[in-house]
Structure 1
């Protein structure tokens, strides 16, 4: 039986329709990627599946006792618990068994204890082992480590976590619950490349359930999903294969439809011309017959066009010098903590430099040093002549919350008419009354588009981009990619988008382990070198979450542990849980 069956589901709001006659099913071991432009109904469909939207037409049927794990963009966490305590809640059953075992162990220390206590303890231990035993502590550690948390973060209260940290914690919690079905809304949005690759490995090699995910991460979709569900014009179309296979199938589909559409349009034009010439003449009956046939003709839809796609063209106002940036032994230290050191690089006009590394490794700090907002702790940084810098801040803070979209552009172009401003905003998909929206009411994707519009107006000859694709859908990402390829000046971009890095970056700056390394090559070349080095060293794949059947590192499971050993092990785990 299917895990979930969706039959002709439609959803409308007061003035517009979001979903029309959507039908599909989720089977065991399915790996489904749900794609579509921002606002196409993806999150609405996900909310219907998890029961957050009740009013809709159609039917959604669930398998009995289906366990679902849902990752939303606004995770529900207990603000008074630490990060570690939040995850320990998942294993409440094991912890209760441990408490009972500890009580029995203490009783068993008494030589006069009843023989039936040993039998009762053996029964509890068997149940504990069946539920994974002490494995859960190691699983928590592996999940947190894989998703970018260090052990020093474990004691942080969830209310003090950043938005990205909250989402990563929520993802770890859902994975550790090991549900039958994962419903994930942008799971890679706040992950660096290493954590994204860890998640890919987990979903492909460890997790045996089904997955439905909303994602704009094309590399991730290629490596995880086996079907693409595309939402367009309120309707759902299913394509077999990963994202790259979908693109090929879609291109062929559009080409075929275009040929059939043109052929039919030519036929219609010819028939209409015959009808026009002969409707009142001797061939009027033939004309009437052809008109009837035209009325009954099943029309072929016009092929899909790239409507709703941003039109971006970055054009530098002045040509900068050939030497853009030179760093020698550059380093930065905050409060005796080395952020990065020994950075040496030479960047020239026309370079597109991809900057990558774990969260918190100094990437944004480096861009702020180029802008002069932070000073080096050591070494030198030389910035070339006649350079103007355009900075895209990943926090999207360069906006006035109380301004409208019109106000934001007028602040930068005070002499422009409303018509000129509207024309610019339309190229970034803001039309009609949307130009009067307040910045405070914009989604992440809308804020990103507005910032890109402001960046375009500045006409700088060096672009410093900090995670520019984070809130953009696939169509917007592709539009940005084309604009950066066509840009005649220099780009330094921080990104965890491997597709973007692979397509654009000609050189790399790699941050990590308190160091920064300059690599004169593409992202694909860098990955090949890493793979070759790994093979030469015969380095095993990091199995970050291990099978529940295995024993955790540091413990040797014994069939008949001594009384003292049982007490020590139980007390150790009791202390661990109370941290």
Structure 2
């Protein structure tokens, strides 16, 4: 950062118009003792009450007094600055902040009466100034740490840096990479007072890190800066720490000195531990721009360990840390110069924006104000805060003394837009924007889910009639982005009144299952006034026969449900179609129909997520790719995209999947000596959904063995899912017989993702598993049709049965045990003690008419 040194540019006319202030100040200089403060307050009141007073003259006159030889004038001038900053900071800070360097020099003044007054004025300046001007205050304070300065000035500068950490902790945190080297140098000063102050300041500035994982180690980190022998021990402690909090730039900034020293240590163990710390911390970095700040500082040390270290395990850990840091920084290696925000560039932006505004040119904004506003804009760019409201608030506070309120917003927006254009990331730009085609949207936004940042200051530009494939690794937020667009939760995205967006997904609610297909569409809020005939015609166009239109939605297969959602979207006449895995439930014929439908929409834009690479190849005109929490648009279909980004091929290859499931080995089944022997058999089974004119499945027979690997194929609506449900007991056949081995267990993964959990959406995964198995039995099994008793069966079980000469009523089946080649069941009788429970063979239970009570028990 360059030192703060605005040019005054004060005209002779301005000096002449400010003579009354000059005279009042000279009069105040004549006072002494307690009257000096009173006289200074009168001068301050004069400045505060005169809106036309040239504050540049005020600043210059005060500077002249503070740098002169008159001790009384110095004290009065310091009191004036102190009072003005306390009472009129917003109006005068641009003119008085540059005087901070003078007060730092006065801390070493020969006359002891001047030092405390100067210290008080300096503290008031930093505490009253705009917090976002901290980045401009720091170079003044750093200049006070120069070797040529007296020790009192150094100590006073360090004390003020420490105070800033309390006054503006966020701003100090963003500036830690600049602060730490300056304060570290002072920790080696020859003067004891400076060394003590430097250590205290370092501890205080490091406390702004806001990371609970690191805070306990701050004293040790500070001590390491002056005691290199402590580096191994401190590194060992940090390597043993489990980092769980998100790591931001301030946290890595205070760790950087230790990590650089540890990587240069002679001991292999210390180098390995340093690499472990870098790996662990960088995994928790959400912002690539922050990680990039440390790539030029830490990556060379890791490279050296990889290239020179003899221990293969240490090299492996360093390689892993290198990769983690590289990926965290956006998979780009950049130099420190490339990452620096240029202050002169920001100053140029502010001056050019003022020159482009007739109202600002006419206002003749002085150099003091321009330089001060530049410093604030400089910090906002460093912090990557391009919020228009923030820019307007910060800039208007200082330009309102020169301009009308109506002209402030356009000027602040112009400065903000230019700052963004000049400093936005150059590595996340779209390859092609098709300038000749009208935009549907061109917005910048951030997106988070829970505590995770998915997109940070990402730009999305959509063209009318284009078909975009949304690509990225699992969990990056593709469906979350589409849902945010659909729900109108995306900042800057056009509202539903301007742009009609429809989200097409397989998401039928249980409450809608009984509705007919036509009524299902008509209950939609956007379609309730649509003529019924238009709905029926559209459904017919996508293949729904009159009989299918009349049947309940819950009886439709997964493929037909997806076609129903597409028909609803067609009726809504969307500008943007959002499709989440649209081909998942469609057969080949219907996938081809969907491809033709989408490619025929020349006026409708589509965004789709799919793992069907053939579908994306056929349909897409562009690919939107998640890259370092940004969105990058590539021209062409999936194949063209993979040519440019070969690593993206992994999204569609099964063998590249990171998550693997290992299923436990099942136990032995009694009497099943070989894997070809049947364990389940369906014989002449049929099933007809209630309310439908004909069976979905008719007179089928299926036999499965342990060695069976069966694929069920057929067009949408052929009854594939119904067959699986009959095998698992989700439904019971209308006719026919089902036999299963009594010890066989089923694991059922339904076509609809929420099949089992739609009644538990507010529970965590852990809570759901606890609920499901808390009694030692799978509660989901109790919901199966084969486990449910009809009213007639319940009535039948209330009837007494003959048992050992007595009439008894079954209360429950308690347990089961192996008996020869079959099983025995423990029956509990009503109004009988446990001691009279009976162990009854399976065949006998069936004979007495209690077979359904143990059917499908596991």
Instruction: Please confirm whether the aligned pair reaches a TM-score higher than 0.5, indicating the same fold.
Output: no
TM-score by length of 1: 0.42
TM-score by length of 2: 0.30
Higher helix share: 2
- Please identify the structure whose Cα radius of gyration is greater: 2
